[in-house]
A and B are shown apart, each in its own frame.
Chain A
Amino acid sequence: GQQVMQIPQYQHVQEGEDFTTYCNSSTTLSNIQWYKQRPGGHPVFLIQLVKSGEVKKQKRLTFQFGEAKKNSSLHITATQTTDVGTYFCERSNDYKLSFGAGTTVTVRA
């Protein structure tokens, strides 16, 4: 399946700072889903975006779907040590399912 591109692949953040990870696709997406995987754990669903330009918030996490539905972003404010992990975006378009490589986030206290 065609993958989405996630950038950056690694993000090292000072506790309390903000950061953003991006998910880009060369084709239009019907929807996009974000997952988080803690070290040693399994991917856990965070949110799904469906509409063009959609913005959803979960506490300190803000998810956005681009107007053209080809990209998405996850912005975390005031990073905490609990935010450590790998964040995946996943495109599910008809029967082609694929995860991006993920952004692995580490936090320094």
Chain B
Amino acid sequence: DAGVIQSPRHEVTEMGQEVTLRCKPISGHDYLFWYRQTMMRGLELLIYFNNNVPIDDSGMPEDRFSAKMPNASFSTLKIQPSEPRDSAVYFCASSLGGEGTQYFGPGTRLLVL
């Protein structure tokens, strides 16, 4: 199994640009999570999906952030427009069941200049 796949692994962009992060969960997993990690705030849950449906997006910082899961094998997290304070590592994770082990992808390291 390839595990959770994220792309890109690194992204450097300028303030105001749109950023799209992509995630392919482990096949068969029915939960998908998006996290953001910074030194100041640690690991924060942004949103999670169950069977492609967003269940809780209370962690999404503001309207500039949006996430979609059009099918069971793909999800995107979009930031538009991006700001320097969005610089962080964004992780995608998937699990089988809501209380199952979460398998994390390698993360996308985002730097907004």
Contact = CB atoms under 8 A, between A and B. Distances in A.
Interface in A1-19: 1
A76 to B, nearest CB: 21
Contacts of B43: 43, 88, 99, 102
Contact of A92 (B56, B59, B99): B99
A55 to B, nearest CB: 19
Nearest to A101: B42
Contact of B101 (A48, A88, A95, A102): A48
A89 to B, nearest CB: 11
B107 A94 contact: no
Interface residues of B, number: 19
Interface of chain A, helix or strand or loop or mixed? Answer: strand
A92 B107 contact: no
A44 interface: yes
A83 interface: no
Contacts of A90: 102
Nearest to B101: A45
A86 B99 CA distance: 21
B110 to A, nearest CB: 15
A48 B48 CA distance: 21
Interface of A: 1, 30-31, 33, 35, 41-45, 48, 88, 90, 92-95, 97-99, 101-102
Interface of B: 33, 42-43, 45, 48, 55-56, 59, 91, 93, 98-99, 101-107
Query: Nearest 4 CB-CB pairs, A to B?
Result: A42-B104, A92-B99, A45-B101, A101-B42
30 contacts: A1-B45, A1-B56, A1-B59, A30-B99, A33-B102, A42-B104, A42-B105, A42-B107, A43-B43, A43-B91, A43-B93, A43-B102, A43-B104, A44-B104, A45-B101, A45-B103, A88-B43, A90-B102, A92-B98, A93-B99, A94-B98, A95-B56, A95-B98, A97-B33, A97-B45, A97-B48, A97-B98, A99-B42, A99-B45, A102-B42
